[in-house]
Amino acid sequence: MPFRSRPPATPPEQPAASRRLSLHRPAAPALPPDRPVPPSPAASPGARREAAPPPRVQRVAPPVAVSAPAGTRLNKRLAELGLCSRREADDWIAHGWVYVNGEVAEMGVKVTPQDRVTVERAAQRQQDSQVTILLNKPIGYVSGQAEDGHTPAVMLINPRTHWQGDASGLRFTPPHLRGLAPAGRLDIDSVGLLVLTQDGRVARQLIGEDSTLDKEYLVRVVYEGGAPVARHPDERSAPLQEIDDRDPVSTNVQAVFPREGLERLRHGLSLDGQPLKPAKVEWQNPEQLRFVLVEGKKRQIRRMCEQVGLKVVGLKRIRMGRVLLGNLPVGQWRFLAPGEQF
């Protein structure tokens, strides 16, 4: 019986390590490479003695579906690691930049802590080119998409409104508008610091479900007293700058506003059936309160004030985390500088 030599095993080719960022801490055990099976003597009695050619190896591995019913979706895992937002993770997966156990991951895949996840450095290069913009939003602009005929705040982002005092060293180009989205809305009648970003990491830090970043507001109020007015979250209050005859006290509100009302603003109120997290609330002057919140429910400050008999007639956001509005003029914007963090 003729002897047939077995061809040497050829391990599958892996993408270059220098092109990937590994997200796995414990080392994964190496799997033995697949070995080609020699032809059967019965199937080919006249086969040659030469070794069979090695199998062809694809440069890009086919998509892998890591099935783990109790696992975490890959886009959520990447977001939990602080690398990007879920939407950005989906974009990376669609580009083929994310690998699970050495295989190109497909959309919707689930992973476990034992799976080895790596990301192409092309994803990091894309992030490095993204910008975050700080705008001093005026009254009359909506934070997001155009609604009810009102202009979105992103329309203010152009070379003419770029603040001359911007010390970031960055220069505006049209691609900076691509994918630019608000991270923390301001109502149409509210003013102050509005953050617009292309970077999913910034968005998650400011408005993610697990965000603990505080935001500071200056709120001008009048005291209506009596029973609070219940409003639906989608119902728009009267314009903030309007003060009418129904407002019993519009000056020295601090002198007549009950102390227990201030304590309720700090802790004890609920919105939409959910208790609110503790807030810092104090008088800035006799007609103006200072709010520091760590959450951002829809029209939260106005609805909180209504529950204690106050009417908001002016609202301005002056800080998000460590980033201040400062002396940025109304209607102008600047870049978040390299090294500047929330």
Tell me what pLDDT residue 7 has. 53
Q: Is the pLDDT confidence value at 182 over 50?
A: yes
203 three-class SS: helix
Tell me what pLDDT residue 27 has. 46
Give me the helices (H) in the chain, please.
74-80, 86-95, 121-128, 200-207, 253-256, 259-266, 300-307
Angle at 153 between CA 82 and CA 196, to 5 degrees: 15
Strand partners, 249: 223
Q: Are 168 and 338 in contact (CB under 8 A)?
A: yes
What predicted TM-score, i.e. pTM, was given to this entire model? 0.67
What's phi and psi for 81, nearest 5 deg? -80, -5
The beta strand positions in 95-152, using DSSP E, are: 98-100, 103-104, 110-111, 117-120, 132-137, 141-142, 151-152
Mean pLDDT of the chain, nearest integer: 81
Higher pLDDT, 29 or 70: 70
What's phi and psi for 248, nearest 5 deg? -65, -40
Q: What is the pLDDT of residues 188-216, one digit of tens each?
A: 999 999 999 999 889 889 988 888 899 99
The mean per-residue pLDDT over the stretch 25-38 comes to 47
Give the percent of the chain with pLDDT over 90. 54
pLDDT band at 82 (very low <50, low <70, confident <90, very high): confident
Residues designated as active site = 187
What's phi and psi for 315, nearest 5 deg? -140, 130
pLDDT band at 58 (very low <50, low <70, confident <90, very high): very low
The mean per-residue pLDDT over the stretch 31-37 comes to 48
Kindly report the number of other CB atoms within 10 A of residue 328's CB atom: 18
Structure tokens at 37: 């099976």
Distance, CA of 233 to CA of 75 (rounded, Å):
31
The pairing of strands 141-142 and 151-152 is parallel
